[in-house]
Each structure stands twice: as structure tokens, then as C-alpha cells.
């Protein structure tokens, strides 16, 4: 967690809760959904006091990493050249747009493209329990409509170039 997030959390909640796997049996990590949803309350506060989105890496592995994300607003369109995303929706709803072309595309870092929206993509409604896999190189954007929010577990997997 970065310094700004820690300060926001301290102001909002008085302290920063720490997320550790509920159980680690070498080499298995286990995060029950109840633990992730409890942690999402913290991310909700960060999002509310920030720009409407908050996330954190739960654990890094050699070729992938696990993260938790909360959103109460539509995010930018994005393309990851080398990483596939796998989303598991834990709470809320969102619309996932995939494919098409990124409007206003710009490089956000090595192998990372961001943009304003997606033109010509396919729309998919995501609900609690849904899983979506987005291959590396696929434009995607998560839309949050009205007062909806979404909390999701993300597995980012490095794919061969």
C-alpha cells in the first residue's frame, strides 16, 4: 500500500487493516470470500476518499499476481500486452466491454495502454460469482452504471509474448 492510501485509511478508519491469507499451507494461499469482502470495506473507503476506485495486490508470484479491486465509477479502457486478467465478481455488478478499439489510446507504461473508452466492443453483464478471462492484448473496460459498485478478485497472469 502506498503512503497516500495509508494516510487516507488512517483518517477514515483510524488504522490500516492488514490482509493476510486466512490460511497458508506451503505453497497454497487461501482467501475466503468473507475475508476479501471485509478487506473490500477498506478499499471502499479509499475509493470514496479518492477517485472512485481502489485496489491492492494480495500476493505476487513468479508469473502472476492476485489482487482485490473495488470500483464505484467507470474505469479507463485498458490493454495489457503481456498479462491476461481473470476477474471473479465478489459483490455488486458491472458491465465488461471487451474487444474493439481503445478511443484516445495512450501508453501508461511499458506494455500498458489506457484510453477513454472502447469503440465496437462486446458488452457482458457481470454479477456476483461470475468469472471473466480477458486474454493479453485484448482491450477491456469495466463500466459502473448509476449508483452500482463492484468488488472483484483479479488474477493477472503473464502470457508469452
Mean of the per-residue pLDDT values of the chain: 88
DSSP 153: E
Reported as a pLDDT band with limits 50, 70 and 90, residue 141 is: very high
Tens of pLDDT, residue by residue over 36-85, are 999 999 999 999 988 899 999 999 999 999 999 999 999 899 999 999 99
Task: Write out the CATH class of domain 3-158.
Answer: mainly beta
Q: What is the pLDDT of residue 100?
A: 97
Where does residue 88 fall: left (phi above 0), alpha (psi -120 to 50 degrees), or beta otherwise?
A: beta
Give the per-residue pLDDT at 115: 97
How far is residue 29's CA from residue 153's CA, in Å, rounded to a whole number?
14
**pLDDT at position 80:** 96
pLDDT for 6: 54
pLDDT, mean of residues 27-44: 90
**Distance of alpha carbon 42 from alpha carbon 62, whole angstroms:** 27
Q: According to the model, what pLDDT value does residue 51 have? A: 86
> What cell was used for 63?
508469473
The confidence score (pLDDT) of residue 25 equals 59
pLDDT tens-digit map of 150-159? 999 999 999 8
Which three cell numbers, joined as nine digits, stand for 112? 500498458
User: What are the respective helix, strand and coil percentages of the chain, to the nearest 5?
Assistant: 15, 50, 35
Amino acid at each position: 500500500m502506498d503512503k497516500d492510501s495509508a494516510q487516507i485509511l488512517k483518517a477514515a478508519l483510524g488504522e490500516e487493516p492488514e490482509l493476510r491469507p486466512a490460511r497458508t499451507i506451503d505453497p497454497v494461499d487461501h482467501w475466503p470470500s468473507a475475508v476479501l469482502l471485509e478487506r473490500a470495506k477498506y478499499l471502499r473507503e479509499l475509493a470514496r476518499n479518492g477517485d472512485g476506485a481502489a485496489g491492492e495486490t494480495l500476493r505476487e508470484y513468479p508469473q502472476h499476481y492476485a489482487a482485490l479491486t473495488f470500483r464505484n465509477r467507470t474505469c479507463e479502457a485498458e490493454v495489457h500486452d503481456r498479462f491476461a486478467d481473470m476477474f471473479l465478481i465478489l459483490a455488486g455488478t458491472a458491465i465488461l466491454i471487451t474487444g474493439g478499439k481503445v478511443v484516445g489510446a495512450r501508453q501508461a507504461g511499458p506494455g500498458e495502454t489506457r484510453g477513454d473508452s472502447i469503440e465496437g466492443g462486446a458488452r457482458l453483464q457481470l454479477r456476483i460469482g461470475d468469472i471473466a478471462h480477458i486474454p493479453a492484448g485484448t482491450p477491456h473496460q469495466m463500466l459502473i452504471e448509476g449508483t452500482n459498485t463492484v468488488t472483484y478478485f483479479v488474477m493477472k497472469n503473464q502470457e508469452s509474448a
